[in-house]
Chain A
Amino acid sequence: MNHGLNEVIMIRNYIKSAYRSLKKNTGFTAINIMGLALGLAACLLIVFYVIDELSYDRYNEKAGRIYRVNEDLKLGENKLQYAVCMAPLAQTLKNDFPEVENAVRLKKAGSIHIKKGTEKIREDYIGFADPSVFDVFTLPVLFGDVKTALVEPNSIVLTESMAKKYFGKTDVVGESLLFDDRETMKVTGVIKDIPQQSHFRFDFLVSMSSLADSRSPEWLRSEYNTYVLFRKGADPKKLEAAFPQLLRKYSGGQMQSELKKSYDEFEKGGSYFRLNLIPLTDIHLHSKMIGELSAAGTVEYIYILSGIALFILIIACINFMNLSTARSSNRAREVGVRKVLGSARKNLIAQFLTESILVTFAATLIAMAIVVLVLPGFNVLAGKELSISLQSLKWIVPMLLMVALVVGALAGSYPAFFLSAFQPVSVLKGSLSAGFKSSRLRSFLVVFQFSISIFLIIGTLVVYQQLNYIQTKNLGYNRNQVLVINNSFEIGNGDKVKLLKQQIAALPGIENATMSGYLPTSQWRNMGIYYKDAVPDQSRAIFPQVWRVDADYIKTLGMQLVQGRNFSKDMPTDTASLIINEAAAKFLGFKNPVNQTLYHSKDYQTHGEVSPYKIIGVVKDFHFNSMRETIAPMMMVLGEDWGRVSARVSTANINNTLDQVKKVWSGISPDIKIDYSFMDAEFDAIYRSEQQIGQIFIVFTSLAIIIACLGLFGLAAYAAEQRTKEIGIRKVLGASVSTIVNLLSKDFLKLVLLAILISSPIAWYSMHRWLQNYAYRINIGWWVFAAAGIAGIVVALLTISFQSIKAALANPVKSLRSE
């Protein structure tokens, strides 16, 4: 017979007998395939998520050569990190450094109303950009000329979807849009929508030349996100090394004239400002500075999720191997017989491997199907828009095939090489099966699996507790029942906003109202410069948060004064008064802060003049930053900031009150739509990503545990099967059902207990480390370990006892017959 043909027949034969053997053990096969498929699917989902996070900004063809310039600033006691730089920096870098191929500045424009017919629509994603933006970033232009689009003032480039939104078509070059009822912007280009995985999102790019400030020669003020495109092969380190010299050269003069101080004196005072570079592709996950263009992802979650994915994959693979080897030991006799009948060793190896790989391939297919099915749900859970594209299939398919091959080969190789090596006589005599039954390897793997599972349970409990703690912690203010009008600043007239506040406060359903843009849940922040001494010493300057609030602020937000008094409208001197928080009191070192005086300097450029402020009260610390940070020193001054109007609503008939508030608003500002929200919802939004990650943890941890249990279920079934004869004998000798169940469960329970012992300290350490990220955190209680341990034991027991009880109830006569 032809050799090749022979080969084909052999392989067909392997597949056929593999299929039969799998079919004969449907239960095992199903558990085996499902466990692996679930594991692979979970893993794939996480891989999608992680890849999405890691692929931020990589759509840029020149991503590897693009860096952003950041600024580190130290002024007095304060260290600040900015994602923005000085206006002239980009051009200077381009001029002075040959290795810089190009540079571009971006600047967020805030919200703008655009007129569409009679309607005014608020747009939030508007940015100024230099013309070079199209050279540095990869933003494919559909219509218009890349070179000139953003050169002239008042030109805009908009995205495809905005073009459709405002004009119903995409070819809109030459059209114009009216911004804020004032400025007519000429559309000079249409670009494709900026990819989701970008650290900036703009729907409209306005030419930088529209912004007069962009031509400012000032080197002491930083407001522009500045990106550098290096020439191929250039070393960014070299540019970084040249930064100090550059700053000295360009800012030295301005410092002398404005601060009356030389650059050296400035630095001797302990202050500095420095520039550094961050690779574009690191920004999304690693950069959390002042002036970022968007909220960053958290690299730590990426690590944790990747860890979980790896764990799940390991658990699933261990399952697979455990079940495969367990099952194959039942086939020792078959191997013996085959060998006696003349089967060569290599045929047996091929047989087992074929079987194993066939199963992993089936699992892979099912995993893919699961991913397709659950992806929409996962997107909701994770707040992403992941999809399987042809692009992603290009790596998913080979990756899965690799995993299938490797896992299949690994799982199959043990029985393949181990069993096939046996002398047929010893296999047939059965002297082998005893040793095989209590395989150390298998016990080790079970312990490993359960260690991971219990680790995950503990981890999830701690994460959940911490998130719950954040949700329920006393924040120092009352976020419930607070209505916030977010866009009162759009009215553009302080007196009108004051009127708005007064009219709202007078409504029957409103308890109090206050006018201030500074809220614990808002992004409005302001730093002031204060000194403890009347003669300012720059090195001793302090930079607390300074919020301009009115006399109703503390009452409306439910804050608490611990010392002194609130601002009063009737005290004219209160315009030079301060209410500080406890953290500020501590920072300042004041035992009795009330009646102490601080000296305020308008800004650090005009050091000479300071004005005294008297502390009249101390407000109990309240959280206005993330719980990850300690509460910073902050001060309130009496002033009129019309950024927002907030009102405490009484619980009765909120909807009615809301209608009345809207009526008041449209009476004062008929053109602009009111934008309101409730403070507790705002608060939740701040922690949404943490909530999401918490939920993701819970889902995947449950999955990991389910998969581990699936494996345990299979192993327990196998163990019970292995011991049917023994169980029969014991029953004949008088053992009761509970004795048998005990006997069968004991071994596994021992392993689970060992797993608890191993994983608890590791989990404690890891979670302790994680909690260090939070300035305000829970203590890990011993009950967490107890709960995780008990959960592990209960789940394992339930899994095992099903099999054990089944085995214990079987009629012993049957098992003893099968000799």
Chain B
Amino acid sequence: MIKITDLEKFYRTEEVETIALNKLSIEVKTGEFVAIMGPSGCGKSTLLNIIGLLDDPDGGSYIFNDTEVAHFNERKRADLRKHNIGFVFQSFNLIDELTVFENVELPLIYTGVAAADRVKRVEEVLDKMQIMHRRNHYPQQLSGGQQQRVAIARAVVNKPKLILADEPTGNLDSSNGNEVMELLTDLNEQGTTIVMVTHSEHDARYSHRIIRLLDGHTVMENIMI
């Protein structure tokens, strides 16, 4: 599903040029559950953003579902993104002014799903994530674990083929964290490809394979059994 070769990404500020990704090559197959690990600042989030078509690389090739997307413009990326990819963030990134229901509904609105259909599908995922009873609450009224479940609900409501999660348990205690990992595992078992950045070896053990990034270049892979 994802084939990245010699990917490069630089950040230029006034004083320094940071090489966030240096000729990186990785591959992710459809249906895989991959964890990305590595020290802080090694480029994990950068990589995830590029995979998620939020950012464009400065060099190299990125083939997503047999299509070269490295040179895609913003509009094409956004189009591809909203139909295929769901995101889960460490800090949940729910919109404070919208209720749980409305937050989850948002991707459906942007992909143009009809209103009646939307209600059905949002209720379906909220049910699955067991937060149906909180549908009219605002994010501030929920615990961290509940908020992350809403975020996951929002990520999957469009039935994406790929879910990208950047430290999804980073802001959660261990029992809430485990709950989230179970959810992701379930989703993966139902066929969704998952790429997850994490600092926790414990969480990484839920995945099939760990990609270890060192300095935006060196890659080591562990295959989980």
Contacts and interface: CB of A to CB of B under 8 A. Distances in A.
**Same assembly:** yes
Interface of A: 431, 434, 438, 725-726, 728-736, 739, 811-813, 816-817, 819
B93 interface: yes
Contacts of A739: 110
Nearest to B96: A434
B143 interface: no
12 contacts: A438-B97, A726-B97, A730-B95, A730-B106, A731-B78, A732-B93, A733-B87, A733-B154, A734-B111, A813-B49, A816-B93, A819-B91
B135 interface: no
Nearest to A730: B106
A736 B77 CA distance: 11
B107 A726 contact: no
Contact of A732 (B54, B97, B111): B54
Interface residues of B, number: 22
Nearest to A731: B78
B107 A813 contact: no
Interface in B86-102: 87, 89, 91, 93-97
B159 interface: no
Contacts of B52: 732
Interface in B6-62: 45, 49, 52, 54-55
Given A434-B97, A726-B97, A813-B54, A735 B110 contact: yes
Contacts of B110: 730, 733-736, 739
A164 to B, nearest CB: 68
Contacts of B55: 811, 813
A89 to B, nearest CB: 78
A465 B111 CA distance: 50
B95 A726 contact: yes
Given A726-B95, A813-B49, A813-B54, A732 B87 contact: yes
Of B45, B78, B91, B107, most buried by chain A (CB within 10 Å of CB) is: B78
Nearest to B151: A729
Contacts of B87: 732-733
Interface in B142-183: 154
Given A431-B140, A434-B140, A813-B49, A729 B78 contact: no
A423 to B, nearest CB: 16
A805 to B, nearest CB: 14
A460 B144 CA distance: 57
Nearest to B90: A819
Contact of B81 (A434, A728, A734, A819): A734
Contacts of A736: 78, 110
A746 to B, nearest CB: 13
B95 A734 contact: no
Contacts of A732: 52, 54, 81, 87, 93
Nearest to B81: A734
Contacts of B140: 431, 434
A431 to B, nearest CB: 6
A730 B154 CA distance: 11
Nearest to B95: A726
A817 B90 CA distance: 11
Given A734-B78, A811-B55, A729 B95 contact: yes
A690 B97 CA distance: 52
A330 to B, nearest CB: 16
Given A726-B97, A811-B55, A734 B49 contact: no
A739 B112 CA distance: 12
A808 to B, nearest CB: 11
Contacts of A731: 78
Of A434, A729, A812, most buried by chain B (CB within 10 Å of CB) is: A729
Contacts of A816: 89, 93
B82 interface: yes
Nearest to B54: A813
Contacts of B81: 732, 734
A732 B88 CA distance: 11
B75 to A, nearest CB: 8
